[in-house]
Structure 1
Amino acid sequence: MTDFTTRPDIRGTFGVVTSTHWLASAVGMSILEKGGNAFDAAVATGLTLQVVEPNLNGPAGDMPAVFYSAETDEVSVLCAQGVAPEAATIAHYKAEGLTLIPGSGLLATVVPGAFDGWMLMLRDHGTMSLREVMQPAIDYARDGHPMLPRVANAIAGLADFLKEEWPTSAQVWLPDGKAPEAHSLFRNPDLAATYDRLASSDGDTREAQIDAARKAWCEGFVADAIFDYLKDAHVMDVSDAKHSAVLSPKDMAEWQATYEEPLSYDYHGWTVHKTHPWSQGPVLLQALAILKGIDLGSMDPNGAEFIHTVIEAIKLAYSDREAYYGDPDFSEVPMDVLLSDAYNAERRKLITDTASHEHRPGHVPGFEAQADAYVERAQRDFGVGAVAAQEPTMAHLTDKRGDTVHLDIIDRWGNMVSATPSGGWLQSNPVIPGLGFPLNSRAQMFWLDEGLPTSLAPKRRPRTTLTPSLAEKDGRQIAFGTPGGDQQDQWQLIWFLRFVHFGMGQQEGIDRPLFHSMHFQSSFYPRQAKPGEMMIEPNVGDAVIEELRARGHIVTVSEPWAIGRLTAAMREPDGRLSAAATPRLMQAYAIGR
Structure 2
Amino acid sequence: MSFTTRPTLQGTFGMVSSTHWLASQSAMGILERGGNAFDAAVTAGFVLHVVEPHLNGPGGEVPAIVATARDPRPTVLCGQGPAPAGATIAHFRSLGLDLVPGAGPLAAAVPGAVDAWLLLLREHGTLSLAEVLEPAIGYAAAGHPLVGAVGATVTAVRSLFEQHWPTSAQLWLRGGRPPVAGERFTNPAYAHTLRRLVEAGQAAGGDREAQIEAARRAWGTGFVAEAIDAFSRRPFRDSSGRAHAGLVTGDDLAAYSATWEEPATLDWRGHTIAKTGFWGQGPVLLQSLAILDALDDGAYDTASAAGIHAQAEALTLAFADREAWYGDSADVPATALLDPAYARERAALIGDRASRELRPGSPGGAQPRLPDHVRSRVTHRVDVPDPTTGEPTVRSDGVTRGDTCHVDVVDRWGNMISATPSGGWLQSSPTIPELGFPLGSRLQMCWLQEGLPASLVPGRRPRTTLSPTLVLRDGEPVLACGTPGGDQQDQWQLPFLLRHLVGGQHLQQAIDAPAWHSLGVPSSFYPRESEPGVLLVEDRLDAAVVTALRSYGHEVRLADAWSLGRLCAVSRDPATGVLAAGANPRGMQGYACGR
Q: 1:364 to 1:269 in 2, by over 3 A?
A: same
- Please give the alpha-carbon distance, in whole angstroms, between the structure 2 residues aligned to 1:480 and 1:553: 28
**Displacement after TM superposition at 1:399 (Å):** 6.1
Match of 1:27 in 2: 26
Residue matched to 2:389: none
2:273 equivalent to 1:276:
no
Give how far 1:161 is off: 1.5
2:412 corresponds to which residue?
412
What residue is the counterpart of 1:40 in the other structure? 39
Counterpart contact for 2:157–2:398, Cα < 8 Å: no
More moved, 459-468 vs 238-247: 238-247
- Cα shift at 1:135: 0.7
Distance (whole Å) between structure 1 residues aligned to residue 445 and residue 107 of structure 2: 9
Correspondence 1:463 to 2:463: yes
- The amino acid across from 1:257 in the alignment is A
Counterpart CA distance in 2 for 1:464 and 1:76 is 18
Q: Which moved more, 1:397-406 or 1:423-432?
A: 397-406
State the distance in 1 between where 2:245 and 2:19 align: 34
Structure 1 partner of 2:71: 72
User: Relative to structure 1, is the Cα distance of residues 352 and 297 closer, same or farther in structure 2, using a 3 angstrom cutoff?
Assistant: closer
- Write the deviation string for residues 436-475 of structure 1: whole angstroms up to 9, x where unpaired: 0000000000001111111111101000000100001134
Following TM superposition, where does structure 1 have runs of at least 4 consecutive aligned residues deviating by more than 4 angstroms?
A: 297-300, 384-388, 397-400
- The answer for the alignment partner of 1:568 in structure 2 is 569
1:361 is matched by which residue type in structure 2? P
Q: 2:592 corresponds to which residue?
A: 590
Give 1:545 shift. Answer: 1.3
- What does 1:425-574 correspond to in 2, within 5 Å? 425-474=425-474, 475=476, 477-573=478-574, 574=576
How many residue pairs get aligned? The number is: 580
In the other structure, the counterpart of 2:396 is 396
Match of 2:387 in 1: none
Which letter maps to 1:582? N
Closer, same or farther: CA 398–364 of 1 in aligned 2, 3 Å: farther
Judge which range, 511-520 or 18-27, deviates more: 511-520
**Amino acid corresponding to residue 230 of structure 1 in structure 2:** S
Equivalent residue for 2:6? 7
Deviation string for 1:186-233 (max 9, x for gaps)? 1111111111111112222111111111111111011111122223x1
Deviates more, 1:67-76 or 1:21-30: 67-76
Partner of 1:391: none
CA drift of 1:493 comes to 0.7
TM-score of the two chains, using structure 2 as the length reference? 0.95
- Show the counterpart of 2:210: 208
SS at match of 1:142: helix
Structure 2 residues without counterparts, runs of 5 or longer = 384-393
- Does the 8 Å CA contact 1:148/1:182 hold for their aligned counterparts? yes
Residues 11-30 of structure 1: CA deviation (Å, up to 9, x unaligned): 00000011000000000000
Identity %: 51
Q: Is the 8 A contact 1:386 1:531 kept in 2?
A: no
Q: Is 1:53 aligned with 2:52?
A: yes
Q: Is the 8 A contact 1:37 1:411 kept in 2?
A: yes
3-state SS of paired residue (1:540): coil
Quick check: 2:570–2:579 contact (8 Å CA) kept in 1?
yes
SS at match of 2:74: strand
Q: Tell me the secondary structure at the aligned position of residue 456 of structure 2.
A: coil
Which residue type is aligned with residue 177 of structure 2? K
Aligned partner of 1:234 in structure 2 is 235
Provide TM-score, normalisation by structure 1.
0.95
Change (3 A) 1:458 1:476: closer
Q: Which structure 2 residues correspond to residues 142-157 of structure 1 after superposition, within 5 A? A: 142-157=141-156
Residues 118-517 of structure 1 aligned to structure 2 (within 5 Å) = 118-201=117-200, 202-204=203-205, 205-231=207-233, 233-296=234-297, 300-327=301-328, 330-365=329-364, 367-368=366-367, 371-374=368-371, 377-380=373-376, 382=378, 385=380, 395-396=395-396, 400-474=400-474, 475=476, 477-517=478-518
Q: Provide the secondary structure at the position in 2 that maps to 1:378.
A: helix
Worse-superposed segment, 307-316 or 497-506:
497-506
Q: Secondary structure at the match of 1:586?
A: coil
CA–CA distance in structure 2, aligned partners of residues 34 and 299 of structure 1: 42
**Cα drift, residue 541 of structure 1:** 2.1
Task: Measure how far apart 1:580 and its partner are.
Answer: 0.2
Per-residue CA deviations over 1:362-401 (Å, capped at 9, x if unaligned) read 0134631xx2434x5423252x65889xxxxx94356653
Q: Residue 524 of structure 2: SS of its match in structure 1?
A: coil
Q: Which residue does 1:108 correspond to in 2?
A: 107
- The superposition leaves residues 66-90 of structure 1 with CA deviations (integer Å, 9 ceiling, x where unpaired) of 0101122321100000000111111
| Alignment CA distance shift 1:68-1:53 (3 Å) | same
Counterparts of 2:128 and 2:552, CA distance in 1: 57
> Structure 1 residues 62, 182: closer, same or farther in 2, change over 3 A?
same
CA contact under 8 A between 2:225 and 2:249: conserved in structure 1? no
Q: Quick check: 1:297–1:502 contact (8 Å CA) kept in 2?
A: no
Q: Which runs of 5+ in 1 are unaligned?
A: 389-393
Offset of residue 163 of structure 1 = 1.3
Partners of 1:317 and 1:300 in 2: CA distance:
19
Amino acid at match of 1:158: V
The root-mean-square deviation of aligned C-alpha atoms, in Å, is 1.6
| CA gap 1:434/1:385 in 2 versus in 1, 3 angstroms | closer
What secondary structure, in the 3-state scheme, does the structure 2 residue paired with 1:198 have?
Answer: helix
Is the alpha carbon distance of 1:449 and 1:387 closer, same or farther for their aligned partners in structure 2, counting shifts above 3 Å?
farther
1:106–1:476 distance in 2 versus 1, CA, 3 Å: closer
Residue type of the alignment partner of 1:584: R
- Preserved CA contact (<8 Å) 1:229 1:433: no
The CA distance in 2 between the partners of 1:254 and 1:372, in whole Å, is 32
> SS state of the match for residue 409, structure 2?
strand
Cα separation, 2, equivalents of 1:99 and 1:381: 15
Deviates more, 1:9-18 or 1:174-183: 174-183
Shift in alpha-carbon separation, 1:398–1:318, aligned structure 2, 3 A: farther
Find the aligned partners of 2:397 and 2:500 in 1 and give their Cα distance. Answer: 37
- Give deviations 1:120-141, integer Å, cap 9, x for gaps: 0001100000000001000000
Quote the Cα distance in structure 2 between the aligned partners of 1:571 and 1:227.
Answer: 44
Distance 1:397 1:511 in 2: 36
Distance in 1, matches of 2:120 and 2:397, equals 33
